Amino acid sequence: MTELRSQDCLSRVPAALRLDTHCIGGRWQPSADAARFAVTDPATGATIADVADGSALEATQAADAASTALPGWRATPARERARLLRRWHAAIVEHTEALAALISAEQGKPLAEAAGEVAYGASYVAWFAEEALRIQGDILAAAGTGQRMWVQKHPVGVVAAITPWNFPLAMIARKIAPALAAGCTVVAKPAEDTPLTALALAELAAQAGLPPGVLNIVAASRERAPAVVDAWLADGRVRKLTFTGSTAVGKHLARASADTLKKVSLELGGNAPFIVFEDADLEAAVAGLMAAKFRNGGQTCVCPNRVYVHDSVHDAFVERLREAVTGLTVGPAWEPDVRIGPMINARAVEKIGQHLADAVAQGARLITGGMRVREADGPHYVAPAVLTGATPAMRLACEETFGPVVPVFRFHDEAEVIRAANDTPYGLAAYFYSRDARRIARVAPQLDTGMVGINEGAIASEVAPFGGVKESGYGREGSRYGLDDYLQTQYLCEGQLG
């Protein structure tokens, strides 16, 4: 039954956007060895598409195409690059329903949330269409007589973009848009679980008039992903790697990029603290936590992984939270009112189960959720859970759970909670709720994270620099800072002028 519904969801996608081969040099092509891999409905595991499985050969062909297209694209006036990005943006927005259906079918998030992801991803394309016009250099005060000195910004060259499955559209759009705005060409590999949305995006870019070879996508299974990516890492023509995914893989790719000294941006894992001080507006704090935590079923790098609540408001906060969490509807993406879809795959469900079992074994109390639900619709639905009595020794305090689980830690004073919040190798996002202006000014700069939400749970935006510190990576996506990662600085000195 669910399988049929999944197919119904896909049937909203026009045939022109249901692509299952690589996009290389403006052509859609299968793998030379005809290998294919299955893309599955995350709820049931049923195959929803068979996609060409790339190898080092297709990766090299994509790099060839991107290198060939580079001189023409970097010489294209910024105004024209901006115009094409605006056309791509318009095409994405126009196909919101189809793209949302693709996202929901392959990734599982509720359709309304998937439409939100389309708008969110598209906003980066619109933003960087405008930023393309603002790539500027500097005229320097010359150091010597008869000299002229100035600074120009140039595109870094061919960019390799590797993306995860949790936001199949937004993560890749956030990389391709600034790269194209800067005058770079792109080779990209989406995640095994979610290649369909990326392929549809490439088709829309082609329809918008993007020249052949400027954007190339090679799909690959988990088994063959390393071969594709390694070919790009070893290729001296690829001058930049931009990666979003786990810290372990990010470290491996950074090491492997060293031989060709690529410019590298890494958007890696997080372990976000969410602090509720005794002077917080509890209602706002619960609403902020619900928004931050349960987006994409908790499978979000910036979602709070550890919730610290002051002793004096702990019980009142937990009761409000329990009520809000038990009100969440779990189910297939295309059912109305569903807030939490299936987890991405069996590995994800297993990890959530292990984190819950470990926490309970170490004394945490599960006050709601945690069990599998909707099993008739598939094995990957998890009821959102709240645990109290969480401690730093538990796995869910040290690792990203990446699921709908809220562990609540009690704290007594400000210095103690700041220490606890920073006691992690990760540093992506942190959140805190307080109505005390002096506390806000004091606490925010002490949090070792790239992003801080203050009385706010929804912080991601195209106007802001998204990224982390410590083992959450380096580089920024979005905002004017996001373009720097795709530009290099050239200093020019002209002499003999006087």
Positions marked catalytic: 267, 301
Candidate ranges 70-78, 207-215, 261-269, 328-336; the one touching ligand NAP (CB under 6 A):
261-269
Which CB sits closer to ligand NAP, 222 or 412?
222
The span from the CA of 233 to the CA of 258, in Å, is 9
Amino acid letter for position 419 = R
Q: Are 428 and 269 in contact (CB under 8 A)?
A: yes
When the beta carbons of 192 and 278 are compared against ligand NAP, the nearer one is 192
CB nearer to ligand NAP: pick between 60 and 434: 60
Q: Is 121 among the residues that bind ligand NAP (CB under 6 A)?
A: no
User: Helix 170-182 and helix 195-207: axis angle, to 10°?
Assistant: 40
Using CB under 6 A as the binding criterion, the count of chain residues that bind ligand NAP stands at 28
For residues 23 and 220, is the Cβ–Cβ distance under 8 A?
A: no
CB 177 within 8 A of CB 85: yes
353 touches ligand NAP (CB under 6 A): no
Contact 440/386 with Cβ under 8 angstroms? no
Judged on CB neighbours under 10 Å (0-12, 13-18, 19+), 489 is: exposed
Using CB under 6 A, pick the residue from 100, 208, 249, 405 that binds ligand NAP. 249
Is 163 a residue that touches ligand NAP (CB under 6 A)? yes
Q: Which amino acid is at 494?
A: E
Residues 382-401 binding ligand NAP (CB under 6 A) are 400
Q: Which residues of 55-86 are buried (b: 16+ CB within 10 A; e: fewer)?
A: bbebbbbbbbbbbebbeebbebebeebbbbbb
Beta strands in 96-200 (DSSP E): 138-140, 148-155, 158-162, 185-189
Q: Which stretch binds ligand NAP (CB under 6 A): 111-119, 140-148, 220-228, 316-324?
A: 220-228
- Considering only 129, 191, 206, 390, the residue that binds ligand NAP (CB under 6 A) is 191
User: Cα separation of 199 and 16, whole Å?
Assistant: 11
Q: Mask 409-448, x = binds ligand NAP (CB under 6 A)?
A: -------------------x--------------------
- Only one residue has tokens 């709908």, namely 404
Number of CB atoms found within 10 A of residue 491's CB? 11
Q: 455 to 474, contacts with ligand NAP by CB under 6 A?
A: 468, 472
- Establish if 268 lies at the interface with ligand NAP (CB under 6 A): yes
Query: How far is Cα 66 from Cα 158, in angstroms, rounded to an integer?
Result: 6
Handedness of CA 71, 74, 76, 82 (dihedral sign): positive
Q: How far is the CB of 340 from ligand NAP (least distance, A)?
A: 17
Considering the complex, state which of residue 301 and residue 343 has its C-beta at the smaller distance from ligand NAP: 301
Closest CA to 178 of 118, 213, 130: 130
Nearest position to ligand NAP, beta carbon: 245
Of 122-130, 186-194, 335-343, 415-423, which segment contacts ligand NAP by CB under 6 A? 186-194
Q: Quick check: 211 binds ligand NAP (CB under 6 A)?
A: no
Please report how close the Cβ of residue 68 comes to ligand NAP at its closest, in angstroms. 24
Residue 106 in contact with ligand NAP, rule: CB under 6 A: no
Q: Contacting ligand NAP (CB under 6 A), which of 65, 229, 394, 406?
A: 229
* Site residues (vs ligand NAP, CB under 6 A): 162-166, 171, 189, 191-193, 222, 225-226, 229, 244-246, 249, 252, 267-270, 301, 400, 428, 468, 472
